[in-house]
């Protein structure tokens, strides 16, 4: 499913299988989750896409062909391909263990072709083995919603009371990890979205309400997954002294001005960008221990536009996942 031009719907096209280059693997895609970032790409809010582009960066598939010098994987292995597709290994960030900030990084489904397809190629060094307890569809949202959620949770620190703004794919995973770590989770949804609030409570959050409400207690940290800048002052009001507000999305609408008093007392605001391979390894080891279970709504690959629209309108509980035609979605 190909994005030809910003603002156009994706088109179903037939293309030759990409040959795996040195260090790359060719993957038969089994499932690919749909991320909010994909909406930002097709809508042109992220301004540097490769065009035409195959979107999708939460890919689960089977290795079907090995490029030259591939040692990490064998044909038949099930692997996951995340957003971070390549880094230079040379820049200051790469050398300081911050490859997520690499000046020359390439991103799956943005500057590299991604997983809204039957086949894709990936650099073996950035792929992860998928824990066996997960089916293909269940595993797909772990590759971004899970990974970026995990990185955001680390950034939020060890405080006991955690707020999550926007209870979609990432929050529903983070809530399970935070509960496993014996924290209290407070879920904030679009005002009046009682169904999403019920979904959050069923996942073990101690409170669920609308994003324009304040929680019953001061929070230690809040993570904002929704791309709405007005949530930053709202979350700052919800955290106590020394609290942190982590913005987990790649794009957000402008932040309204706010009084300094809500930032005062050592509150802070920061963002989380991309992921490192280390995040991926840590998260893939932790997820089956919790165990993180993902709630998914599946669509056929050809229904990618419908899946994107459902995500946009907030209809999806958990994560939307595309499956390829002849795949049942279970491993």
Give the interface with Zn ion as residue ranges (CB under 5 A): 35, 37, 87-88, 91, 94, 102, 144
Q: 82 or 215, CB closer to Zn ion?
A: 82
Query: Smallest distance, Å, CB 311 to Zn ion?
Result: 11
Q: Rounded distance, CA 167 to CA 137, Å?
A: 19
Q: In sequence order, what DSSP letters do the residues of 220-264 get, joined into one string?
A: EEEEE-SS-TTHHHHHHHHEEEEEEEEE--S--PPPPP--GGGTT
- Neighbouring-strand partners of residue 129: 79
Q: 151 or 267, CB closer to Zn ion?
A: 151
Q: End-to-end CA distance of the chain, in Å?
A: 23
Q: 87 or 276, CB closer to Zn ion?
A: 87
Query: Smallest distance, Å, CB 94 to Zn ion?
Result: 3
Q: 115 or 163, CB closer to Zn ion?
A: 115
Q: Rounded distance, CA 325 to CA 216, Å?
A: 47
Query: Smallest distance, Å, CB 169 to Zn ion?
Result: 9
By DSSP bridging, strand 119-123 and strand 24-34 are: antiparallel
Q: In sequence order, what DSSP letters do the residues of 289-320 get, joined into one string?
A: TTT----EEEEEGGGHHHHHHHHHTT--SSEE
The residue count of the chain comes to 331
Q: 149 or 329, CB closer to Zn ion?
A: 149
Q: Which helix (H) or strand (E) holds 95?
A: helix 92-95
Helical axes 145-155 vs 277-286, angle rounded to 10° = 100
Q: 148 or 208, CB closer to Zn ion?
A: 148
Name residue, tokens 């979350």: 235
Query: Smallest distance, Å, CB 170 to Zn ion?
Result: 8
Q: 66 or 287, CB closer to Zn ion?
A: 287
Q: 144 or 307, CB closer to Zn ion?
A: 144
Query: Smallest distance, Å, CB 257 to Zn ion?
Result: 29
Query: Smallest distance, Å, CB 59 to Zn ion?
Result: 11
- Let me know: does 35 contact 144? Beta carbons within 8 Å: yes
Q: Rounded distance, CA 298 to CA 158, Å?
A: 34
Query: Smallest distance, Å, CB 34 to Zn ion?
Result: 9
- Structure token digits, residue 126: 């950035």
* Nearby residues of 111 by Cβ (< 8 Å), 6 or more positions away: 48, 49, 50, 85
Query: Smallest distance, Å, CB 38 to Zn ion?
Result: 7
Buried b (16+ CB within 10 A) or exposed e, 15-44: eeebebeebbbbbebbbbbbbbbbbbbbee
Query: Smallest distance, Å, CB 187 to Zn ion?
Result: 20
Q: 88 or 262, CB closer to Zn ion?
A: 88
């Amino acid at each position: 499913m190909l994005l030809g031009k910003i603002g156009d719907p994706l088109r179903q096209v037939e293309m030759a299988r990409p040959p795996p280059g040195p260090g790359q693997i060719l993957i038969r895609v089994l499932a690919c989750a749909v991320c909010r970032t994909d909406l930002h790409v097709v809508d042109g809010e992220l301004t540097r896409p490769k065009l035409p582009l195959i979107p999708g960066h939460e890919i689960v598939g089977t290795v079907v062909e090995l490029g030259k010098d591939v040692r990490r994987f064998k044909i038949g292995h099930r692997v996951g391909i995340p957003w971070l597709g390549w880094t230079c290994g040379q820049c200051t960030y790469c050398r300081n263990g911050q490859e997520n900030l690499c000046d020359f990084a390439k991103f799956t489904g943005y500057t590299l072709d991604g997983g809204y397809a039957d086949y894709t190629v990936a650099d073996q060094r950035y792929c992860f083995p998928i824990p066996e307890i997960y089916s293909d569809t269940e595993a797909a949202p772990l590759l971004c919603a899970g990974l970026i959620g995990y990185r955001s949770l680390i950034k939020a620190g060890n405080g006991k009371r955690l707020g999550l703004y926007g209870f979609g794919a990432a929050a529903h995973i983070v809530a399970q990890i935070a509960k496993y770590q014996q924290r209290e989770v407070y879920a904030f949804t679009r005002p009046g979205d009682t169904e999403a609030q019920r979904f959050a409570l069923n996942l073990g959050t101690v409170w669920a309400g609308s994003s324009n409400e304040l929680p019953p207690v001061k929070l230690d940290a809040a993570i904002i997954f929704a791309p709405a800048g007005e949530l930053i002052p709202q979350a700052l009001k919800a955290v106590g002294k020394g609290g942190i507000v982590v913005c987990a999305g790649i794009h957000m609408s402008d932040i309204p001005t706010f009084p300094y008093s809500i930032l005062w007392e050592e509150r802070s605001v920061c963002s989380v960008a991309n992921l490192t391979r280390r995040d991926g390894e840590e998260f893939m080891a932790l997820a089956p221990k919790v165990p993180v279970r993902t709630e998914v709504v599946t669509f056929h690959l050809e229904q990618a536009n419908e899946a994107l629209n459902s995500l946009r309108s907030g209809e999806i509980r958990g994560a939307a996942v595309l499956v390829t035609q002849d795949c049942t979605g279970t491993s």
